Amino acid sequence: MSSGAERRLTSMRTTQQEAIAAAQAGDEAAFSALVEPHRRELQVHCYRMLGSFEESEDQVQETFLRAWRRRETFQGRSTFRAWLYRIATNTCLDALAARPRATPRDPADIPWLEPFPDRLLPADDEPDAIVVARETIELAFLAAIQLLAPRQRAALILRDVLGWPAKDTAALLELSVPSVNSALQRARAALREHLPERDDWDAQGSEDERALVQRYVELSESGDTAGLAAMLREDARFSMPPEPGLWVGRDAIFAAWDEGGFGTEEFGDIRCLVTAANRQPAVANYVRKPGDDVHRGFALDVLRIERGEIADIVTFPPSLYAAIGLPLTL
């Protein structure tokens, strides 16, 4: 490291130490300046723990409240960022313990699963962008880790996603290092059972992906269920949280769409907007029913694409449009 870089690093550390001292003395502005740069990555962390975008917003706020109330306990034995992660993890564990629902057994049985808007993820050139690698933010991964017991989930996220040492993970979870390693092994085995096999990754935002999504939009707007079904992989999956149920296979999905009246005059006229969530392409559907004068939000389809085919469609209700940054009507 050059002497100039060393001086800048020393200056940054001194500035942060001064801000921490000011915050611990009760300076709310100094405290806000310390925590706000970590808001996005902490929300992603809470989202992974909880599976719900709405709950992740609430728990980040709770994390900051707890950090403020406990600010004098920060002793500098870890980085301020790591200290915030400790608080956020425990906040989420408390929230999970308070849930009146049992841990689900299948990825399709997660009614609280919600998409995370790409516009709120750290940008690729931001220092914390590594915490949202595509394979650890896709809906398939989010659904799979919701099947883990809370401490197993935390151990997996801290060790395999954030890269924490086993010793630090054990201290946070108040477990022994062997217990953490055992929990991690069980979590990895469960993921192998529930995650779809991925032998290649289509480049996000590639020309081929954009063309496929545009074709999906055109077929949706024309109500061509047969054409849409032809875009699906033979073993494609379709689900609609919070509604229960999972449709597996092209024929089963086509039958579900046909039974729902999709593509009929009674269903209405469809218009679509392309967006993105969980580092995946997404299509917001708007429907104008017969006799109506506007297209109203109907469903958000988050797509997983493999080798030029749609492998997975997870459809969410229009109540989530605002979080994605979409209007409710066109």
Place of tokens 């020309």: 207
The C-alpha atoms of residue 197 and residue 191 are separated, in whole angstroms, by 11
Q: How far is CA 58 from the centre of its chain?
A: 15
Q: CA 168 → CA 78, 162, 171, 228, 252, distances in Å?
A: 10, 12, 5, 48, 47
Q: Please, which residues bridge with residue 135 across strands?
A: none
Look at residues 293, 233, 115, 275 and name the one whose alpha carbon lies nearest to residue 285: 275
Domain boundary assignment for the chain:
11-194, 207-324
Omega within 30 of 0 (cis) for the link into 242:
yes
Look at residues 79, 95, 96 and name the one whose alpha carbon lies nearest to residue 41: 79
What pLDDT, in 10s, does the model give residues 55-78?
999 999 999 999 999 999 998 888
Is residue 54 within 8 Å of 25, Cβ to Cβ?
Answer: no
Q: Would you tell me how many other CB atoms lie within 10 Å of the CB of residue 151?
A: 18
What pLDDT shows up at residue 77?
84
Of the CA atoms within 13 Å of residue 244, those in its CB half-sphere come to: 4
Is residue 265 within 8 Å of 290, Cβ to Cβ?
Answer: yes
| Torsion angles phi and psi, residue 139, rounded to 5 | -60, -35
**b/e per residue 222-246 (b: at least 16 CB within 10 A):** ebebeebbebbbeebbbbbbeeeee
Beta strands in the chain (DSSP E): 232-239, 246-248, 269-277, 280-288, 296-306, 309-316
DSSP string, 101-137: SPPPSSTT--TT----BGGGSPPTTSGGGGGG-GGGT
Is residue 326 within 8 Å of 297, Cβ to Cβ?
Answer: yes
What pLDDT shows up at residue 106?
79
The pLDDT tens digits along the chain (330 residues) read: 455 545 554 555 567 889 999 999 999 999 999 999 999 999 999 999 999 999 999 999 999 999 999 999 998 888 999 999 999 999 999 999 998 766 777 788 899 999 999 999 877 666 566 667 778 999 999 999 999 999 999 999 999 999 999 999 999 999 999 999 999 999 999 999 998 876 555 556 789 999 999 999 999 999 999 999 999 999 999 999 999 889 999 999 999 999 999 989 999 999 999 999 999 999 999 999 999 999 999 999 999 999 899 999 999 999 999 999 999 999
The C-alpha atoms of residue 63 and residue 46 are separated, in whole angstroms, by 10
What pLDDT shows up at residue 206?
85
- Fold assignment, 207-324: Nuclear Transport Factor 2; Chain: A, (3.10.450)
Single pTM value for the model: 0.91
Q: 118-121, long-range: CB within 8 Å, 24+ apart, which pairs? A: 118/275, 118/276, 118/277, 118/278, 118/279, 119/276, 119/324, 119/325, 120/40, 120/43, 121/40, 121/44, 121/279
Look at residues 217, 221, 149 and name the one whose alpha carbon lies nearest to residue 189: 149
What pLDDT, in 10s, does the model give residues 253-311?
999 999 999 989 999 999 999 999 999 999 999 999 999 999 999 999 999 999 899 99
Is residue 237 within 8 Å of 247, Cβ to Cβ?
Answer: yes
Q: Do domains 11-194 and 207-324 have the same CATH topology?
A: no
What pLDDT shows up at residue 122?
78
Domain 11-194 sits in CATH 1.10.1740.10: yes
